[in-house]
Amino acid sequence: MPTPNAATGLPRKVLIIGGGFAGLELARGLANDNRFEVTLIDRTNHHLFQPLLYQVATASLAAPDIARSIRQILENARNVTVLMDEVTSIEPDEKRATGLSGTVYTYDYLLLAAGARTSYFGNDAWAAHTMGLKSLADAQNIRRTVLSNLERAELTTDEAERTRLMTVAIIGGGPTGVELAGAFADLIHRSLKSNFRRIDTTKLRVILIEGSNHILEIYDNDQSIYARQHLESIGVEVRTQTKVTNVRAGALEFLDGSTLEASAIIWAAGVAANPLTQCIGVPTDRGGRITPNPDLSIPGRPEIFVAGDLVSMRDREDKPVPGVAPAATQMGAHLAKLLKEELRLEAKGFTGNKHDLRPKFRYFDKGMMAIIGKNHAVVKAGKMRLRGLMAWLAWLFVHILFLVGFRNKLAVLLGWAYSYLRNNPEARVIVYPPTSSRP
């Protein structure tokens, strides 16, 4: 139990909604500081390392390799209570939030860090016929669908059905679409080729569909051209300037009137903020994100903060702060410092408006990287540009570093690296085929 705060007599109640990168970092930053009584609520019981979700979707990693129980991560933080609940509403005037369980959570400070969700840009009906990639369940669904389709293709004697079963369409040529396309091409054309007797897995089509002129638009032009050339060299069909106008069960329709039949359609074309941002009573942008004050508090609500993928703001160079894990982590760390400093000022008897003294959030851009199949990647960091093997090694190094700290199980990492280097991903077991009745 937290001990009472000397200045107020009570510890401050900090409510964190979301145990992702931002929420977890704030909880860690306040851990064992008895001036705070922290409650972290997440609708899942785990923190998820989303940058490696595509590896679960493409059978290179198992789910536990990229997720860890939030309760376990925070087991030594004695002033932090972790609860699994889905927050359904926030009532800022009453300083409280309500969960799906019916529980009401009150707070002195609130951090809304519930992350992003898949967005269909107003075409919500498409969700029923496509698979998103935001959660472990999504990744397992993609893997199950593609692997099950290959099994069905091995069974069928109908050539047209076999072609349909062996077509994977990925909509969206950003980093997620590119990483998925490259990994699927590697899985199918390298790893699975000797596993089937009736079908030729090299005939499986992986089609990457992008509405604009280039894939990886946020990278330099030559990096995006390089990514396209490499994907094509490993068998991915890249279609740019191709606008999807409709998605039906097992088929896509395009602006030019053509259609494509595909048994697996993956939507990697857009995300929007968690709808909880609508509860705060401030304007949001088209993606549902909030523009906070420079300290990350909500205009007119100094006790409510927003962080991570829910934030729309610009950095010192007037570039948008991207929706990436380092930005979310930095925001969580910034808020931990801010809250501690605020209580320190209070304890010293400061009587002015302490909110005016709050530090501004400064984003430190560490660059970005995208993997394009085995041995190939692109890196853009400051003035540095890498591509090919060097970029891939940099990617591997950064992600292994992250995971070691994250899961602390070197054995899992070595096992993954071993199967990756041998072209032999292990996570190919289909637990619930899509046609079975699940328990």
Ligand X SMILES: Cc1cc2nc3c(=O)[nH]c(=O)nc-3n(C[C@H](O)[C@H](O)[C@H](O)COP(=O)(O)OP(=O)(O)OC[C@H]3O[C@@H](n4cnc5c(N)ncnc54)[C@H](O)[C@@H]3O)c2cc1C
The contact set with ligand X (CB under 6 A) reads 17-23, 41-44, 50-51, 53-54, 86-87, 113-115, 133-134, 176, 274, 276, 308-309, 323-326, 328
64 or 326: CB nearest ligand X:
326
22 or 403: CB nearest ligand X:
22
235 or 323: CB nearest ligand X:
323
Q: Please, are residues 286 and 133 in contact by the beta-carbon 8 Å criterion? A: no
CB of 310 to ligand X, least distance (A): 6
Q: Is residue 151 annotated as part of the catalytic site, yes or no? A: no
133 or 262: CB nearest ligand X:
133
Residue 298 CA to residue 281 CA, distance in Å, equals: 10
Of 438, 431, 437, 419, which Cα lies nearest the Cα of 148?
A: 431
Catalytic residue among 25, 37, 179, 342: 179
Q: What 3-state DSSP class applies to 169?
A: strand
Strands 87-91 and 96-99: antiparallel
Contacts of 279 (CB under 8 A, 6+ apart): 89, 90, 91, 92
Strands 87-91 and 264-267: unpaired
165 or 180: CB nearest ligand X:
180
CB of 190 to ligand X, least distance (A): 22
CB of 226 to ligand X, least distance (A): 18
CB of 53 to ligand X, least distance (A): 4
Q: Tell me, rounded to whole angstroms, the distance of Cα 318 from its chain centroid.
A: 24
Residue 14 CA to residue 41 CA, distance in Å, equals: 11
Q: Please, are residues 97 and 83 in contact by the beta-carbon 8 Å criterion? A: no
Strands 96-99 and 67-69: unpaired
Give the strand order in the sheet containing 236-239.
236-239, 205-209, 167-171, 264-267
CB of 435 to ligand X, least distance (A): 26
Catalytic residue positions, numbered: 179
